[in-house]
Amino acid sequence: MKFVFKPSPNYRTERSTIGIMRDLTICLCAVVLFSAVYHGTAFGFSYGLRVVLMSAVSVIAALATEAVYFKIMGSKDIVKDLRHSFGWVTALILTLITRLDVTYYALAVATAICIVFGKLVFGGFGQNIFNPAAFGEAIIMNSFAAHKAAQVTADVYTGATPMAAMDSYGWIMSSDKFGEFVQQFGGLGNMFLGQYPSVIGGSCAALLLLCGAYMLWKKDIDWHLSVFYLISVFCMSLIVGLIKGAGIWYAVFNILGGGVLFGAVFMMTDPVTTPITIPGRMIFAFGCAALTLILRWKSNLPDGVLFSILLMNMLTPAIDKLVDGNQIKNAGIIRRKVIISSAFAVAVCMAVGLTIEGKEPAPAAPAGGSAEVTPLGALQEEDLSSAKAACTESSNDGKTAVYACEAFGFEGTNKADVTVDLKKNEIVSVKVTEFNDTEGIGDAAVTEEALKAYKGVTLEGNVDDASAATPATMTKKALRAMVQKALLMATGQEAAAPAKPPLSEEKLKGYHGECTAESTDGDITVYACKATGFSGGTNEAKVTVDTAKGTVTDIEITVFADDGDDVGDDAADADKLERYIGASLDSSIDNLSGATKTTGSFKAMVRAALEAAGADEIPEGGSAASAGTIGNEAFSLSQKCTESSNDGSTAVYACSAKGYAGTNEAEITVDLKEGKITAMEITTFADDGDNVGDDLNSAEKLGAYVGATLQSAINETGGATMTADSFKAMAAEALKAAAGN
Amino acid sequence: MSLLTGPMKHHLNGHKGLTKEKPVLKTIDPDVVWIPLVNGNAPCKPCVNVGDEVKVGTKIAERNDHFYLPLFSPVSGTVTGIEKFMTSGLTPADHLRIQNDHKHTEVRAFEPFDYEKASWEELLEFVKNAGMLGLGGAGFPTYVKYLKPENVSLFIVNAVECEPYLTADYKNIEENMDLLRTGTLALFKLSKAEKGCVAIKEDKKHQIAELQKAFAGTPIEIRTVPDMYPMGWERTLVYQLTKKRYDKLPIEAGCILNNASTAIALGNAIDNGHPITHKYVTVSGDAVKNPQNVLVPVGTKAHEIIDACGGYTEGTEEVLMIAGGPMMGRTIPNDQFVIAPPNNGLTVLINKEPEEVKCLRCGRCTETCPSGLQPIRIAMTAAIFDEEELMKLSVLDCVECGMCTYVCRSKLNVTELVRRGKNFVRTRQANRAKEAKK
């Protein structure tokens, strides 16, 4: 047995720093758990999981950083050093004071930086000047402000946080207004329970107080700083609130909202960065409270707590020095110093507080869908473009119209039939036909009950959706976008599906319809039309056109070459043909999904019929006359033609001419007797890829050259002059060659 | 305590149950006793020669510098020599070796005394010649405190016994209530105080009742104080009872204090003409097999007492042998030292190495420091030997009560670091004084 010598005392409390950190870790984990459950239930499991994953990422980053640092510093026992450095506490606190939409990457980098530059370079645990977690959050706020997971922002932070919302009112409002204001967070009671989105761990006042009480009971933390901080924040905001005509609620809001409670429980109780004596802690508390309120009132920061702590951290050594010495013998001096410095802090804060003025919030500018403040603004004002809504009128009986709409929601495109009362210009019903958003979240927005909310919605009003902050935001947004689009169409403010051009301008590549009038009965003319179809055959139809109105009254497919192809078949069904009835050159006709080519063929016929009907009324050579004849136009496009065949009556010329991007080549057939072009086919199209020129390389446009003589004028198509000139040059050259024959 | 200072005291687990209810072992009668010839830091001159026969109560040495203090033999037998070895104060000192003949023949050191009839001067002279000294730990000659008792408002008998593990005073009071009464009243007379009281911790309910019974009809009050450490320290106790602070001596606050066992010793001298020969000593701690109180002759070696208490706990590899309680008692690296009059405990603990981490500046040491200091700031300043800063931090006000080390969450030896700062400043001051003399 050995007698050991040790200086007195040889008796120690069982409480230890390691125990403090264990209790602190328990409390932090409880807050993480609460946050995970809250976000998981309110926004979906993936968000609950995200809370846990973010904590894990931060803790791992912290431990890895410290391990590397200790390794570099030549540590003999890295595990022990890690245990005594308590990096995970910093990581957890940092996670809890960040927002859920901070990316994992940003969080990990900020953790590493704050561990190294906030703690380790000062000498490690116990030596750091700044609260490392606050340091890390400052890095996130300043360096990763734009580094957000957009989807999380859009889903979780739909409404303004209490701090931002209050800020938009200039940090003061009358007590009657407040009741309404605080409703967006479910009232003060709800704020106490933390059922609103805030930073990850900052919202539940009840839980934070519980954690504080637990750590006080375990004698882990000193109450002076936190309690004086809370009291002074409360009292100073109460005084300002009372003077400015707000009520007691103002002080309560200042305590419950933002990071005040979290800071008081988890950050100001970090003794490393706060003064060591009780008088010092009182000065710190008053200073911190004053700075918190001043920063809230006057700065652009979302909240003042974080930076007030960092600023006061900086003063900690000075405060320690200020109240040094024997606390009994210097009691008088120390008391005086505490009173003077606290009074100074309070006076400055009060002076600033008296200058605050209430204001009306600026209209919410929904940037990335992040700031829709309830109630929603007028639907017509709302920017819902991100949902990419599109509607087509599927029926219209004059009184009501049904629009088949689609819009992008959270995960996919949702479709709905929106019925609009055309007289009142309001929504009759919304029926979701296809739902592709997240099961379990988004589908709450598309239940019959939920969809009733859209009944009666007008462009001037909006959906009575007071719960913009609740889940399924994106799905709701898609619904609103569809409703908006349908209403805009119904009121004629927007044409149907802008993506679809009217029939007259539609590109029907490869389908050239030809019609000949078969019979005419007054305004009603029946055209026999034909056009190539899908399988290369020619479809034929009888199209009846009301020439007066310029609309199709009937269509009958007489020869259906695309038969045998199941899909195309469909297009020829009587009920599918109804789509063409009532069509004019201005209407746009949907391609029938899966039978595009057949539809194209039909459309070509319909258009040809309509054009033929319209052509009767347009005097020939009208506007076209103004252009010079191709024979007279001087082209210097190195155009040339070589005769490739000649049977005496017709000759085929292989021509070439410079276009916009290169040399185009064409095979032009000329009727040698009449000196006119009977066919023109582009064999090499060098202007391809140029969207403008493309247009001209179509059977339809080339049709313009059929029948052309040197005396014809060919209308230039605006915007594709070079290509058109190239074509015209070839045509002219071929005709000249034919004439020379 | 005010809003700006911490509680300046702290409840400790006293572990007093280990010994409080057990009977006092009185059978220890060592073959040899060694009387330390020292009082405080002052040597005492033996007044017997080697080979002399002594009886219980024979005056064997005295301190005779600016204070006077006689020492009396606790046993009967033969003086066999003077040996130098380490005292319980960790300083080497001469010890008078007396071979015990186990006959317990007594000689009256002085006659019993009627303190009520005697004059104040006669009483003071009696206290001086009876060799009364502070038995609470200081060993300071008692009469010196009463030389000029002016404007004393409160006389306090300190029965607080705040040091953990120790129950010697408790047992002593329990067994010698009458002597306590006599001694207290005599000291009260000597103090010329307006009021007198016995201060005792509020948790000792039974003894409080006993005391109230014993002191019924006397001007002595029984005052209870909270179960805190260091409640028995003069400053803390005076502040607790009077709300007054003082700079150097309690008399500045109008108080005179004496330990309860000193009062009992005086009672024994007055009633029985018996000097201080035996001590109640608490033997406790987790490294002792049978913790209990013992009544032993002054000069008994520690190992004999431990042996009488069943020895060390089996399987113990490293022990801390502490003379006194674990807070202020010194660890002695052997068990060969002897019990001197001021000793009242042997605390033997199994050595445990705490897991030390860096200071987290929690401020517990500052809050609980009974002197109102900032121990950890002193400790950090001591590390860089900044004398000026140490003086600003009032390092010399530290009484080494051990509280800062006790409360330290990071398990640092704060008290020791402060002690070093204190020693550093003292050495510097002493060196300067020497230079000034030259």
Q: Are residues B314 and B391 in the same domain?
A: no
> How much is the CA Rg of chain B, to the nearest whole Å?
22
Q: Tokens 């040809």 belong to which residue?
A: A608
Count CB-CB contacts under 10 A for residue A623: 10
Inter-chain residue contact A325 with B407, CB threshold 8 Å:
no
pLDDT tens digits, one per residue of A524-558: 888 888 777 666 677 788 888 887 777 888 888 87
Strand order from edge to edge, sheet including B53-54: B32-36, B92-100, B77-86, B53-54
Burial B200-238 (b: 16+ CB within 10 A, else e): bbeebeebbebbeebbeeeebebbbbebbbbbbbbbbbb
Inter-chain residue contact B363 with A124, CB threshold 8 Å:
no
Q: Are residues B229 and B326 in the same domain?
A: yes
Residue B259 lies in a domain: yes
- State how far the Cα of B167 lies from the Cα of B181, in Å rounded to an integer: 19
Question: What is the per-residue pLDDT for A621?
Answer: 40
Containing A180, the helix (H) or strand (E) segment is helix A175-182
User: Do residues A668 and A679 touch, judged by C-beta distance below 8 A?
Assistant: yes
Q: Could you say which of B320, B357, B397 has the minimum Cβ distance to residue A18?
A: B357
Going by C-alpha positions, the residue among B109, B136, B118, B106 that lies closest to residue B47 is B109
DSSP string computed for A84-116: TTTHHHHHHHHHHHS-TTB-HHHHHHHHHHHHH
pLDDT tens digits, one per residue of B92-108: 999 999 999 999 999 98
B416 shares contact with chain A (CB less than 8 Å): yes
- State how far the Cα of B169 lies from the Cα of A355, in Å rounded to an integer: 67
Nearest-CA distance from A46 to chain B in Å? Answer: 38
Residue A586 CB-half CA count within 13 A = 5
Question: What is the per-residue pLDDT for A296?
Answer: 92
Q: Are residues B283 and B388 in the same domain?
A: no
Which of B15, B252, B336, B362 should be substituted to probe chain A, the one whose Cβ sees the most A Cβ atoms within 10 Å? B362
Which of B4, B11, B366 should be substituted to probe chain A, the one whose Cβ sees the most A Cβ atoms within 10 Å? B4
Mean pLDDT confidence for B319-324: 93
Chain-centre distance for alpha carbon A16:
50
A332 shares contact with chain B (CB less than 8 Å): no
- State how far the Cα of B92 lies from the Cα of B75, in Å rounded to an integer: 23
Angle between helix A305-322 and A132-143 (nearest 10): 140
Torsions phi, psi for B216 (to 5 deg): -60, 135
Residue B336 lies in a domain: yes
SS (H, E, C) A588-634: CCCCCCCCHHHHHHHHHHHHHHHHHHHHCCCCCCCHHHHCCCCCCCC
The DSSP 8-state label assigned to residue A263 in this structure reads: I
A16 shares contact with chain B (CB less than 8 Å): yes
Q: What is the mean pLDDT of chain A?
A: 82
pLDDT tens digits, one per residue of B123-146: 999 999 999 999 887 788 999 999
Q: Are residues B248 and B284 in the same domain?
A: yes
> What's the token pair of residue A324?
């040094």
Question: What is the per-residue pLDDT for A362?
Answer: 62
Q: Are residues B167 and B310 in the same domain?
A: yes
Q: Are residues B312 and B412 in the same domain?
A: no
Q: Are residues B341 and B389 in the same domain?
A: no
A319 shares contact with chain B (CB less than 8 Å): no
- Helix (H/G/I), strand (E/B), else coil: A429: strand
Nearest-CA distance from A159 to chain B in Å? Answer: 40
Going by C-alpha positions, the residue among A559, A563, A527, A553 that lies closest to residue A542 is A527
- Select the more confidently predicted residue: A431 or B250: B250
Chain B residues with beta carbon closer than 8 angstroms to that of A225: none
Question: What is the per-residue pLDDT for A716?
Answer: 57
The DSSP 8-state label assigned to residue B326 in this structure reads: T
Inter-chain residue contact B319 with A15, CB threshold 8 Å:
no
- Helix (H/G/I), strand (E/B), else coil: B293: strand
Chain-centre distance for alpha carbon B428:
29
Cβ–Cβ pairs < 8 A, chains A and B: 175
Going by C-alpha positions, the residue among A714, A668, A724 that lies closest to residue A694 is A724
Q: Could you say which of B319, B335, B409 has the minimum Cβ distance to residue A16?
A: B409
> What's the token pair of residue A373?
């403040």
pLDDT tens digits, one per residue of B38-68: 988 889 999 999 999 999 999 999 998 889 9
Going by C-alpha positions, the residue among B352, B346, B316, B349 that lies closest to residue B329 is B346
| CA geometry: angle A186, A188, A192, nearest 5 deg | 100
- State how far the Cα of B376 lies from the Cα of B362, in Å rounded to an integer: 10
Could you give the percent of chain B with pLDDT greater than 70?
100
Q: Tokens 């502040």 belong to which residue?
A: B239
With a cut of 80, say whether residue B308 has pLDDT above it: yes
With a cut of 70, say whether residue A689 has pLDDT above it: no
Going by C-alpha positions, the residue among A580, A569, A576, A573 that lies closest to residue A603 is A580
Q: Which of B352, B377, B401 is the last residue of a domain?
A: B352
Residue B77 lies in a domain: no
Residue B39 lies in a domain: no
Q: Are residues B323 and B403 in the same domain?
A: no
User: pLDDT grade, residue A623 (50/70/90)?
Assistant: very low
Residues 715-734 of A with CB under 8 A from B: none
Q: Which amino acid appears at position A213 of this protein?
A: A
Residue B359 lies in a domain: no
Q: Are residues B375 and B337 in the same domain?
A: no
Q: Which amino acid appears at position B430 of this protein?
A: A
Going by C-alpha positions, the residue among B184, B140, B161, B324 that lies closest to residue B231 is B161
Residue B230 lies in a domain: yes
pLDDT tens digits, one per residue of A573-584: 666 677 777 777
Q: Helix, strand, coil % (nearest 5) of chain B?
A: 30, 25, 45
Q: Which of B352, B386, B406 is the last residue of a domain?
A: B352
**B107 backbone φψ class: left, alpha, beta (φ>0; ψ -120 to 50):** beta
- State how far the Cα of A654 lies from the Cα of A221, in Å rounded to an integer: 95
User: Do residues A32 and A202 touch, judged by C-beta distance below 8 A?
Assistant: no
With a cut of 80, say whether residue B110 has pLDDT above it: yes
Q: Which amino acid appears at position B58 of this protein?
A: T
A4 shares contact with chain B (CB less than 8 Å): yes
Inter-chain residue contact A325 with B392, CB threshold 8 Å:
yes
Residue A167 CB-half CA count within 13 A = 20
With a cut of 90, say whether residue B405 has pLDDT above it: yes
| Number of domains within chain B | 2
Q: Are residues B213 and B192 in the same domain?
A: yes
Chain-centre distance for alpha carbon A683:
46
User: Do residues A387 and A413 touch, judged by C-beta distance below 8 A?
Assistant: no
A269 shares contact with chain B (CB less than 8 Å): no
- Helix (H/G/I), strand (E/B), else coil: B301: strand
Q: Are residues B155 and B298 in the same domain?
A: yes
The DSSP 8-state label assigned to residue A671 in this structure reads: E
- Helix (H/G/I), strand (E/B), else coil: A449: helix
User: Do residues B110 and B129 touch, judged by C-beta distance below 8 A?
Assistant: yes
Sign of the dihedral through C-alpha A271, A277, A283, A285: positive
Range of the domain at B313: 19-27+110-352
- Helix (H/G/I), strand (E/B), else coil: B43: strand
Q: Are residues B374 and B339 in the same domain?
A: no
- State how far the Cα of B135 lies from the Cα of B260, in Å rounded to an integer: 8
Question: What is the per-residue pLDDT for A262?
Answer: 93
> What's the token pair of residue A86?
């308590």
Strand order from edge to edge, sheet including A663-671: A640-646, A650-658, A663-671, A676-684
| DSSP-assigned beta bridge partners for residue A404 | A392, A417
Q: Which amino acid appears at position B106 of this protein?
A: E
Tell me how many helices (H) and strands (E) chain B has. Answer: 12, 18
Question: What is the per-residue pLDDT for A182?
Answer: 85
Mean pLDDT confidence for B329-349: 92
B327 shares contact with chain A (CB less than 8 Å): yes
B332 shares contact with chain A (CB less than 8 Å): yes
- State how far the Cα of B206 lies from the Cα of A14, in Å rounded to an integer: 29
Give the CATH number of the domain where residue B295 resides.
3.40.50.11540
- Alpha-carbon dihedral B326, B332, B334, B337, rounded to 10 degrees: -100
Which of A226, A286, A327, A342 should be substituted to probe chain B, the one whose Cβ sees the most B Cβ atoms within 10 Å? A327
Q: Could you say which of B327, B394, B411 has the minimum Cβ distance to residue A329?
A: B394
Question: What is the per-residue pLDDT for B288?
Answer: 93
pLDDT tens digits, one per residue of A190-234: 888 888 888 888 778 999 999 999 999 998 998 999 999 999 999
Q: Could you say which of B321, B334, B366 has the minimum Cβ distance to residue A276?
A: B366
User: Which residue from A minimizes the CA distance to B354?
Assistant: A12
Question: What is the per-residue pLDDT for A368?
Answer: 41
The DSSP 8-state label assigned to residue A267 in this structure reads: I
Residues 371-410 of B with CB under 8 A from A: 371-374, 376-377, 392-394, 397, 400-403, 405-410
User: pLDDT grade, residue A467 (50/70/90)?
Assistant: very low
- State how far the Cα of B141 lies from the Cα of B134, in Å rounded to an integer: 6
Residues 276-305 of A with CB under 8 A from B: 276-279, 281-282
Chain B residues with beta carbon closer than 8 angstroms to that of A13: 12, 406-409
Chain B residues with beta carbon closer than 8 angstroms to that of A318: none
Q: Which amino acid appears at position A699 of this protein?
A: A
- Alpha-carbon dihedral B421, B425, B431, B436, rounded to 10 degrees: 170
- Select the more confidently predicted residue: A499 or B227: B227
- Helix (H/G/I), strand (E/B), else coil: A222: coil
Question: What is the per-residue pLDDT for A603?
Answer: 77
> What's the token pair of residue B224?
């209870």
Tell me how many helices (H) and strands (E) chain A has. Answer: 25, 13
With a cut of 80, say whether residue A336 has pLDDT above it: yes
Residue B53 lies in a domain: no
Q: Which of B297, B320, B352 is the last residue of a domain?
A: B352
> What's the token pair of residue A396?
């219209």
pLDDT tens digits, one per residue of A38-81: 999 988 899 999 999 999 999 999 999 999 999 999 989 999 99
Residue B64 lies in a domain: no
